[in-house]
Amino acid sequence: MVSGTGIRPFARLVDKSNASVWAISPAGKLIYLSSGCDQWLGFDSAVLLDRRCVAGAPVSDDKLDLIAAALAAPADLQRRGTASLRITPPCLELHRPETREVRFIRIGEDDTALTFAIAGDFNDRLPEPELKDAVAIRQQLDSWRRNHASTAINITAGTSNEAVRLRRRINVAASTRTDVGLFGPPGSGGESILIRIHELSAPAENLINIDGPLMDSDLLDATLMPALHQLAESKEAGVTALVRGLDEMPFEAQQRLAGLLDTFSGRLRLLASCGSQLLELNAPTDDVISESLSLDEERARGLCSQLIDVISSLTIVNRPLAQRVEDIPLIATAMLDTRHAAGEGPAERINRAALDAFVVYPWPHNYEELEHAIRHAIRTAPGNVIACEHLPLAIRSYQPGANLNRAKQTKISLDDAIQRYELRLITETLELTDGNRAEAARRLGISRARLIRRLEDGLPNQPSGKESPGKESR
């Protein structure tokens, strides 16, 4: 169970204790697992040797890679030298490993340091608030990766209702080979979702990528020519067309595509992304509308009636990032994990101030902009923590406009009254907690991200010399 011979005397002693102990090399690979790990994990843990033990490292559906990544140390271990984390490894077969407290110890310096992990009962840890947040996010990510291993792309991370609905829709689409219409704003990562659906539902099937706005009827035929030959030559063949911007495709090309889908019904599948302005196509009256629309009305809606019927078979709605505020810290950390595991930089976590900046920023370009921000930050940060100064200028300098005092209106606004009441409760709770946002959010029963967004969007400008309780650093 040991890579090399130098660690064998130590290994024999540890194996006698039946303790669950493992070692991670400076390169982030498992180089030793004790016999106690076999009982905990439920299989011969020697098969994990030389696998990447870095959070976010799995790039395949191999469960062993996922288990190895789950055994990784938490963030900031390099600076502190020791850290604790509760770990629930994914199950390989029927055996379900129990959750254990794990103490990590880093021995050595720089590129030659080894990391040892011991699973047991440790109740003496008092982590810094920053690290406590990082550990909580890491545990949420581990749970997400463990429970949604097959569809765990970073866009789907989160606990909001929107994240849950998105994962459920993807699971349904991935479980059967059917036409799919995905609605979402530009930059929302729709193409990565559709590609993942294709990989899970028809991995051996030929995939043709089509840029809808660039197509005319002739170019569409030329792009699909190899696939059409394949479908014509074999009655058993299947092909998937992935169309980006279906609603921006010229109308004649749409009609040609609809004709091909009808000709090769069941064998030519359509995975299409559309703009969020077409969400009304999901209304219950679609059936009637698609039959009664005139040609000019179809053009105005952006889609021909035949394609409306096709993509209505299974639709997925991918909301703008600004509507998933609670999920932003989790999504950002998942993106950071992926890039850190790929060796793009030393940063392992995002500090509170930077996460607060992410939460407040409106993200006009959605997930693609967040991905760019993480890529910029991990290349800019010299250490293992991403701070505000490492973020792109547009994000770190963003100042949300405070709500100005509105002129008195004769009509009473229920929304305004609720907002004022909510802000008063938040302000009073912040005063009771001495400005501690995390504690205030816990007492109010809301997420810290939601509390921050409410403060930034709703608190009025403070008089000179008086600081808002929402600006407290904690």
Q: How confident is the model over 185-209, as pLDDT tens digits?
A: 888 888 999 999 999 999 889 999 9
Are 228 and 359 found together in one domain? no
CATH code for position 348: 1.10.8.60
Which residue shows structure tokens 């002129």?
A: 407
User: 110 — alpha (psi -120 to 50), left (phi > 0) or beta?
Assistant: left
Would you say residue 439 has pLDDT above 50? Answer: yes
Distance between CA atoms of residues 117 and 102, nearest Å: 6
| DSSP class per residue in 218-234 | HHHHHHHHHHHHHHHH-
| Burial degree of 233 (CB within 10 A; 0-12, 13-18, 19+) | exposed
**Within 13 Å, how many C-alpha atoms sit on residue 430's CB side?**
22
User: Which of 366, 396, 426 marks a domain boundary?
Assistant: 396
The mean pLDDT of 209-222, rounded to a whole number, is 92
Q: Does some domain include residue 403? A: no
- For the ranges 201-215, 420-434, 442-456, the maximum mean pLDDT occurs at 201-215
Are 240 and 375 found together in one domain? no
CATH code for position 100: 3.30.450.20
Give the β-pairing of 114-120 and 20-24. Answer: antiparallel
Are 198 and 102 found together in one domain? no
Of 108, 88, 90, nearest in space to 98 by CA: 88
Number of Cβ within 10 Å of residue 128's Cβ equals: 10
Q: Does some domain include residue 224? A: yes
> What does the DSSP 8-state code read for residue 180?
E
Are 113 and 201 found together in one domain? no
Give the β-pairing of 268-274 and 180-183. Answer: parallel
Give the β-pairing of 100-107 and 114-120. Answer: antiparallel
What's residue 59's pLDDT? 53
Are 92 and 212 found together in one domain? no
**Which domain, by its residues, includes 351?**
324-396
CATH code for position 250: 3.40.50.300
Give the β-pairing of 82-87 and 100-107. Answer: antiparallel
Q: Does some domain include residue 106? A: yes
| 428: confidence class by pLDDT, cuts 50, 70, 90 | confident
Q: Does some domain include residue 407? A: no
Distance between CA atoms of residues 239 and 268, nearest Å: 5
Burial profile 54-91: b = 16 or more Cβ within 10 angstroms, e = fewer = bbbbbeeeeebbbbbbbbbbbbbbbeeeebbbebebbe
Q: Does some domain include residue 401? A: no
Residue 220 one-letter amino acid = L
Q: By mean pLDDT, which of 68-82, 218-232, 383-397 is the weakest?
A: 68-82
3-state helix, strand, coil in the chain (%, to 5): 50, 15, 35
> Tokens representing 370?
């967040």
Are 223 and 356 found together in one domain? no
Q: Which residue has the higher pLDDT, 185 or 132?
A: 185
User: Which of 340, 370, 396 marks a domain boundary?
Assistant: 396
Inter-CA distances, 425 with 418, 428, 452, Å: 11, 5, 13
CATH code for position 467: 1.10.10
Report the percent of the chain where pLDDT is more than 70: 84
Would you say residue 292 has pLDDT above 90? Answer: no
Which residue shows structure tokens 């000709």?
A: 263
Are 218 and 307 found together in one domain? yes
What's residue 300's pLDDT? 44
Q: Which residue has the higher pLDDT, 177 or 301?
A: 177
Of 215, 209, 214, 212, nearest in space to 194 by CA: 209
pTM exceeds cut of 0.75: no
Are 334 and 309 found together in one domain? no
Distance between CA atoms of residues 124 and 135, nearest Å: 16
Would you say residue 3 has pLDDT above 60? Answer: no
Q: Does some domain include residue 143? A: no
Distance between CA atoms of residues 356 and 453, nearest Å: 9
H helices of 42-127, where?
A: 63-70, 77-80
Distance between CA atoms of residues 264 and 230, nearest Å: 11
3-class SS at 160?
coil
Residue 417 one-letter amino acid = A
Dihedral sign of CA atoms 316, 321, 324, 330 in order: positive
H helices of 33-178, where?
A: 35-41, 63-70, 77-80, 129-147, 161-174
Are 300 and 354 found together in one domain? no
3-class SS at 241?
strand
H or E element: which one contains 27?
none
**Within 13 Å, how many C-alpha atoms sit on residue 57's CB side?**
24
Are 381 and 424 found together in one domain? no
Over the stretch 301-337, which tens digit does the pLDDT of each residue have? 578 888 988 988 899 999 999 999 999 999 999 999 9
Are 349 and 391 found together in one domain? yes
Q: Name the domain count of the chain.
A: 4
Q: Does some domain include residue 229? A: yes
Would you say residue 132 has pLDDT above 60? Answer: yes
Q: Does some domain include residue 149? A: no
User: Which of 253, 284, 317 marks a domain boundary?
Assistant: 317
What's residue 2's pLDDT? 44
3-class SS at 261?
helix
Are 174 and 277 found together in one domain? yes
> What does the DSSP 8-state code read for residue 246?
G
> Tokens representing 447?
């997420």
> Tokens representing 151?
């569809």
First CA to last CA distance, the chain: 45
